A and B are shown apart, each in its own frame.
Chain A
Amino acid sequence: MHKLLTDSPGEKMLLLGNEAIARGALEAGVAFATCYPGTPSSEIPENFFKISQESDLYFEYSTNEKVALEVGAGSAIAGLRTMVTMKHVGLNVAADPLMTLAYTGIKGGMVIINADDPFLFSSQNEQDNRYYARLSSLPMLEPTNVQEMKDMTIAAFDLSEELGLPVIIRTTTRLNHIRGDVLLGELKPVKTKDTFEKKPFHWVCVPAVSRNLHKLLLERYDKSAEKSDNLSYNQIIGEGKWGLVTNGVSFNYVRDAVSDLGISDKVSILKLGFSWPMPKDLCVKFLKQVEKVLVVEELEPVNETDLKAIAQEEGIDISIRGKGIAGLSRLFEYDPGMVRKAVAQYFEMDYKAPETVDTSDTPELPGRPPNLCAGCPHRATYYCVKQVYGPDAIYPTDIGCYTLGLLPPISMADFVICMGSSVSSGCGFSKATDQKVVSFIGDSTFFHSGITGLVNAVHNNHKFTLVILDNGTTAMTGHQPHPGVDTDPMGVDLTRISIENLVRGLGVKDIHIVKPFKLKKTIEAVKASMEYDGLSVIISQEMCPLFAKATGQFKKSKPFHVNHNKCKNHRDCINLLACPAMYLDGEQVEIDKNLCIGCSVCAQVCPENAILPLKE
C-alpha cells in the first residue's frame, strides 16, 4: 500500500512538503487530480500517479497546465473535489482559464497548487505568483511548514466549496522540499461521481453573462476577505511594539530570529497564512499596536505595499519597511542569518553575525555544473547536428534535460525563454536573418506547447529545421509520461500518440526519423535537412537510459574502454562529446566502466577506432 494511504489518524509521519500536500488532499477526499509536472511541484503528482493505481482517485498527467486546469474545471464544476498542481510558470500557461474560471466559480472544492521558485533552483525565472491572487481575486493560502501544508490543503478544499471559488495554495521550493513531522488525520470518503447541472446563463461566459459573473466574483471576494480576517491562519503573535510581518517559509526565519535575538517580549508578529485577500481588520489592529514595522517576504514587496496602503487609509503614520533593509532584496531566497541581521539592524540592536572561517586561501575551484548523463542520447543528437550545421547556426532551444546542451563542448543553445519557444522563435530567427536555424525541443515539451508553433511554421512557410528529441519521457522533472510515451511499463494503459504521424498530419513534408546512437545515418539525415529548402523535422528517437533502467526497459551493453596502443590522444572524444564517463588519468583519456552505459557513441567519434567494448 502507498504510504500516504496509511489509515492511522493520530500517527506521525516524516513527510516531504509535497507528500504532505498530497496527504492533505486525500484527507479532504480528493477525487480528481491533474497536473503538468514542474520542479518544485512534481512529487505531488508523482504520488497521485501511484496512488491512483490503488485507489478511487482519478489522476492524469495532462498535456500542459492550461489543459490540466481546464480538465480540472470540468471535474470541479461537475461537483468533485479536484486538485491541479503546477510550478509557478505553469500558471502563466494556465492563466487564461484561471482568470475566467474565477468568474464562473466551481461546485466541488478546487485547490490549485502553485509552486514558486525563489532563487531559480530549477526554473527560467523567479516571478512572484502572489500577484495572480490579486489579478484573479482568488483566495490564496501560504503554508509555513510541512504540517500546515497538509492542514491548509484540507482547509482550502472546505474554503473553496464554501466560497464557490478555486483556492490557490502558494508554496516555495524550500517548503516543497522540506521534510518534517506530520500528524495524520482521517482519510475522508471520496465522492467519485456527480451530475453536471446545466445553467448556461452562469457557466457560459459570453459578455452578458460575464458582466454578472464579475459582480458575483467581487461578492465572493468580499466574503473571502471576511474569512481571511477570521481564519486562524492569519494571526498576531505577541504584543510588543516592534512589528514584524511575514508569510510562507520566511515565517520560520522571523520566528527563529526573534528567539535567537531574545526579543520575544518586544515584538508582535503578523503571520499571513491566508494572505489574499489581506485580512484588513487584523492588519489595522496590528498596525495600531506597533511603533514600526518590518515586512519580511521573499521576492516582490507585495504585503509591504498593501500594508502601506492600509496604513494610509487608516491614517496610521508609522514606518513600514521591507525591501532594502539590510540584505532584504527582491532577489532570490532569504535565509535565517539574513533575516536575523535585518531584524537587528531595523530595530537598532547590537548584533554580531557569526563569523565564517577565512576562505581567502582557498584556490580557485573547478566548477561542477549539472551535465547530461553518461550515454544520454541528447549528446549524440547534438554532436550529429553540429557536425553538419557547425557552430555558427542559430540554435533556439527549449526546456528540459537537453537545455544542458548550453554547456561546452556542445555549446548549442542560443535562446530559450519558456516551453515551446524553440519552435516559434525559430520562425522569427529564420525570417529575420540569413543564418541557418536549427531548433531543439524535447518530446514532452513538444506536446506541451511545441505543436502550435509547428502549425505556425508550416502555415506561414517558415524555413528551418526542428529537431524533436524523443527520449520517451519527461526526463528533467523526474521521468513522467506524456502523450507520446508507451505507458505500459509504468503500469497504466494509455493511448500513445505518434509524433511522426502528428508531424506528418500537420503538413510537414521533410521528415527524418533517426536513431542518434547511429551517428553516420543520423548525420546523413541532418545533411538532407540542411539541403532541403523549407521546413524540416528530425525526430531523434532513443529512450533516456535512466528512465529505461527505472522501468526495466534498459538493454545492457558492454562498457567501452580506451585502447592505449591505438589512442593517439587527439581527444576528439573529450573535446567534442565530453561524456561524463570519460576522465583524464594524467594525459591519458580513460572511461569509467561503472558510469559508461555502452552507447558506443564515443567509439564512432574516435578517428583511431581506439575506443572498444570492454572484454570481461
Chain B
Amino acid sequence: METKRLVFIGVGGQGNLLASRLVGEAAMSMGIPAVVSEIHGMAQRGGIVESAVLLGDVTSPIVSTAEADVLIGFEPLETLRAMGKCNKDTVVITNTHPLPPFTVSVGQGTYPQVDESLDLIKKKAKKLIALDGIAIAEEVGNPLALNMVMLGALIGSGTIPIGAEDMKKVLSTSTKKAFLESNLKAFDLGMEKAQ
C-alpha cells in the first residue's frame, strides 16, 4: 500500500499518545503494517508531546521535516508551530480551542489569534480541517474526549485507509465502559465535522 506518515502534536495531558496508539492498533487489526512512535518523559509535564504513526512499507519511526501526509494538531498554537512537518500536499486537522502556555500567563510572549493562525495554516496546507474539539467533547459530556474527536476527524478526512468501523472496534475494546458511549459519540461528531 501507499505509505502514510501521520504526525500528532499536542500538549501533555491532551491524550494524543493514546490517539496515535489506537490508530496503530486499528491498522494492525486490518493487517496494515504500522509503526507508532512516542516520546515519554519530561515533555509530559505540560510541554509539547509529539507522536507519529507510519503506515505501509516504511519502518522508520520518525516523520522528517516536510514529510507528513497528515498533521493532527490538538492545540492551534502547536499545530501552527509544527507546520515545518508539512509540504504543500499535507492535510492538516486541528482543534481550534486554545490552551495558552504558562509563558503567556506570565507575560512572556503573546498567544497568536486563533483565526490568524488558522489562516496561516490554510494558506500553506493542501487542506485544513478545523474543529472545536473541546466544544464537542463538552457536548458529549466528557471533557477528556478530545482525542476521540480528533480520531473521528482523522478517519472522517479519508486520508488513511482505516474505516470508521475498524476504528470503532478498537475503541470499544480499549476504552473503559463508563466512557464508551460518550467516546463513540465524540468520535462520530468529529467524523461528521471532517467529512
Residues of A bordering B, CB below 8 Å:
12, 14, 16, 39-40, 42-43, 121-122, 145, 173-175, 177-181, 249, 252-253, 255-256, 259, 333, 335-338, 353-359, 361-373, 401, 404, 408-409, 476-478, 574-575, 578, 580, 582-584, 594
A-B complex: 7 closest residue pairs judged by Cβ atoms: A337-B64, A366-B109, A122-B41, A370-B47, A356-B66, A357-B124, A179-B36
Q: Which residue of A lies closest to B109 (CB)?
A: A366
Determine whether B57 belongs to the interface, using a CB cutoff of 8 Å to chain A. Answer: yes
Assess whether A359 is in contact with B83, with CB atoms less than 8 Å apart.
yes
Determine whether B61 belongs to the interface, using a CB cutoff of 8 Å to chain A. Answer: yes
In the bound complex, residues from chain A placing their C-beta under 8 Å from that of B40 are: 39-40, 42-43, 122, 177, 478
Residues of B bordering A, CB below 8 Å:
11-12, 21, 24-25, 28, 33-48, 57-67, 77-78, 80-81, 83-88, 90, 100-112, 120, 123-125, 143
In the bound complex, residues from chain A placing their C-beta under 8 Å from that of B100 are: 366, 583
The answer for the CA separation of A14 and B111 in the assembled complex, in Å, is 38
In the bound complex, residues from chain B placing their C-beta under 8 Å from that of A42 are: 40
For A357, give its contact among B46, B86, B143 (CB under 8 Å).
B86
A434: shortest Cβ distance to chain B, in Å?
32
In the bound complex, residues from chain B placing their C-beta under 8 Å from that of A363 are: 112
Assess whether A401 is in contact with B45, with CB atoms less than 8 Å apart.
yes
Assess whether A178 is in contact with B38, with CB atoms less than 8 Å apart.
yes
Assess whether A259 is in contact with B109, with CB atoms less than 8 Å apart.
no
In the bound complex, residues from chain B placing their C-beta under 8 Å from that of A476 are: 42
The answer for the CA separation of A363 and B45 in the assembled complex, in Å, is 25
In the bound complex, residues from chain A placing their C-beta under 8 Å from that of B107 are: 574, 584
With A365-B80, A371-B46 given, can you name 12 additional A-B contacts, CB distance below 8 Å?
Answer: A121-B41, A122-B42, A174-B61, A337-B64, A357-B87, A367-B101, A367-B108, A368-B46, A368-B103, A578-B102, A580-B46, A594-B143
Assess whether A366 is in contact with B108, with CB atoms less than 8 Å apart.
yes
The answer for the CA separation of A359 and B63 in the assembled complex, in Å, is 18
A356: shortest Cβ distance to chain B, in Å?
4
In the bound complex, residues from chain B placing their C-beta under 8 Å from that of A178 are: 35-38, 61
In the bound complex, residues from chain A placing their C-beta under 8 Å from that of B125 are: 357
In the bound complex, residues from chain B placing their C-beta under 8 Å from that of A181 are: 28, 33-34
In the bound complex, residues from chain B placing their C-beta under 8 Å from that of A365 are: 77, 80-81, 109, 112
Whether A578 contacts B106 in the complex (CB less than 8 A), given A336-B62, A365-B112, comes out as yes
Assess whether A180 is in contact with B109, with CB atoms less than 8 Å apart.
no
Q: Which residue of B lies closest to A42 (CB)?
A: B40
A585: shortest Cβ distance to chain B, in Å?
10
In the bound complex, residues from chain A placing their C-beta under 8 Å from that of B81 are: 365
Assess whether A362 is in contact with B106, with CB atoms less than 8 Å apart.
no
What are 8 A-to-B residue pairs whose CB atoms are below 8 Å? A16-B38, A121-B42, A181-B34, A356-B65, A356-B86, A362-B80, A364-B109, A583-B104
Assess whether A370 is in contact with B37, with CB atoms less than 8 Å apart.
no
The answer for the CA separation of A337 and B87 in the assembled complex, in Å, is 13
Assess whether A370 is in contact with B88, with CB atoms less than 8 Å apart.
no
In the bound complex, residues from chain A placing their C-beta under 8 Å from that of B103 are: 366-369
A509: shortest Cβ distance to chain B, in Å?
36
Assess whether A362 is in contact with B120, with CB atoms less than 8 Å apart.
yes
Whether A357 contacts B62 in the complex (CB less than 8 A), given A40-B40, A121-B42, A370-B43, comes out as no
The answer for the CA separation of A14 and B38 in the assembled complex, in Å, is 14
Assess whether B38 is in contact with A177, with CB atoms less than 8 Å apart.
yes
B128: shortest Cβ distance to chain A, in Å?
12
The answer for the CA separation of A237 and B101 in the assembled complex, in Å, is 48
In the bound complex, residues from chain B placing their C-beta under 8 Å from that of A256 are: 58-60
Q: Which residue of A lies closest to B47 (CB)?
A: A370
B107: shortest Cβ distance to chain A, in Å?
8
The answer for the CA separation of A357 and B42 in the assembled complex, in Å, is 29
Assess whether B59 is in contact with A39, with CB atoms less than 8 Å apart.
no
In the bound complex, residues from chain A placing their C-beta under 8 Å from that of B61 are: 174-175, 178, 249, 252
B169: shortest Cβ distance to chain A, in Å?
14
Assess whether A180 is in contact with B87, with CB atoms less than 8 Å apart.
no
The answer for the CA separation of A476 and B45 in the assembled complex, in Å, is 9
In the bound complex, residues from chain B placing their C-beta under 8 Å from that of A333 are: 62
The answer for the CA separation of A337 and B44 in the assembled complex, in Å, is 26
Assess whether B64 is in contact with A338, with CB atoms less than 8 Å apart.
yes
In the bound complex, residues from chain A placing their C-beta under 8 Å from that of B120 are: 361-362
Assess whether B124 is in contact with A359, with CB atoms less than 8 Å apart.
yes
Q: Which residue of A lies closest to B88 (CB)?
A: A357
A1: shortest Cβ distance to chain B, in Å?
16
Whether A180 contacts B124 in the complex (CB less than 8 A), given A369-B103, A370-B43, A373-B46, comes out as no
The answer for the CA separation of A583 and B99 in the assembled complex, in Å, is 10
In the bound complex, residues from chain B placing their C-beta under 8 Å from that of A40 are: 40-41
Whether A177 contacts B37 in the complex (CB less than 8 A), given A357-B125, A358-B124, comes out as yes
In the bound complex, residues from chain A placing their C-beta under 8 Å from that of B111 are: 366
The answer for the CA separation of A477 and B45 in the assembled complex, in Å, is 11
Assess whether A335 is in contact with B64, with CB atoms less than 8 Å apart.
yes
B48: shortest Cβ distance to chain A, in Å?
5
The answer for the CA separation of A116 and B102 in the assembled complex, in Å, is 31
In the bound complex, residues from chain B placing their C-beta under 8 Å from that of A16 are: 38
A592: shortest Cβ distance to chain B, in Å?
10
The answer for the CA separation of A118 and B107 in the assembled complex, in Å, is 33
In the bound complex, residues from chain A placing their C-beta under 8 Å from that of B21 are: 14, 179
The answer for the CA separation of A346 and B80 in the assembled complex, in Å, is 34
Assess whether A370 is in contact with B58, with CB atoms less than 8 Å apart.
no
In the bound complex, residues from chain B placing their C-beta under 8 Å from that of A369 are: 47, 101, 103
Assess whether B78 is in contact with A368, with CB atoms less than 8 Å apart.
yes
A90: shortest Cβ distance to chain B, in Å?
15
In the bound complex, residues from chain A placing their C-beta under 8 Å from that of B101 are: 366-369
In the bound complex, residues from chain A placing their C-beta under 8 Å from that of B110 are: 366
Assess whether A14 is in contact with B60, with CB atoms less than 8 Å apart.
no
Most buried by A among B12, B45, B85: B45
In the bound complex, residues from chain B placing their C-beta under 8 Å from that of A478 are: 40
Assess whether B39 is in contact with A173, with CB atoms less than 8 Å apart.
yes
